[in-house]
Amino acid sequence: DTQAEQEQRGLLTGPSLSADVLAGPVEAGVTETPRYLIKTTGQAVTLRCSTVSKHSGVSWYQQALSQDPHLLFEFYENVQRAKGEIPNRFSAQQLRDYRSELNVSVLELMDSALYLCASSV
């Protein structure tokens, strides 16, 4: 749905944003939760990703409307290997049980995007 369609249904009111999480098919090797999320500015959010096939690498991406995906974080065997040019409000971790979490401490309108998780061997 577009923001206009969501506003017409009353899902977005005032200064708010939509942080959509796309859960790829099982073949992609990840499960993301929550699948869809709408929050208001100023709130905190935690997105979770579990690798289906126990891959050792996990990457988080942010894709703004009509933009290419932008790397946020890359982990391999619980160690952060890369971090994109992002505000300190963003943090992430890879947990021992092949899960990963992406946190945003204070959401801003510019954070409205699709958040993607990818796994690698």
- How does pLDDT run across 57-115, given as a tens digit for each residue? 899 999 999 999 999 999 998 899 999 999 999 999 998 877 899 999 999 999 999 99
Would you say residue 6 lies in a domain?
Answer: no
Q: What is the pLDDT of residue 119?
A: 87
Average pLDDT, the chain: 78
Strand ranges, E, within 1-121: 16-21, 30-33, 38-40, 45-51, 57-63, 70-76, 79-83, 90-94, 99-104, 113-120
Residue 44 lies in a domain: yes
CATH number where 112 lies: 2.60.40.10
pLDDT at residue 28 greater than cutoff 60? no
Assess if residue 106 is contained within a domain: yes
DSSP, collapsed to helix, strand or coil, labels residue 35 as coil
- Please indicate whether residue 71 or residue 53 has the higher confidence score (pLDDT): 71
Euclidean distance between CA atoms 86 and 64, whole angstroms? 13
Asked if the structure places residue 93 within a domain, the reply is yes
The CA R_g of the chain, rounded to the nearest whole Å, is 14
Residues 62/107, Cβ–Cβ less than 8 Å: no
Domain count, the chain: 1
pLDDT at 117 exceeding the cut of 80: yes
- Residue 33 placed within a domain: yes
Stated pTM of the model: 0.74
Give the range among 15-19, 24-28, 110-114, 117-121 with minimum mean pLDDT.
15-19
Residue-range definition of the domain harbouring residue 30: 15-120
In a domain, 10, yes or no: no
7 inside domain: no
Asked whether residue 9 is assigned to any structural domain, the reply reads: no
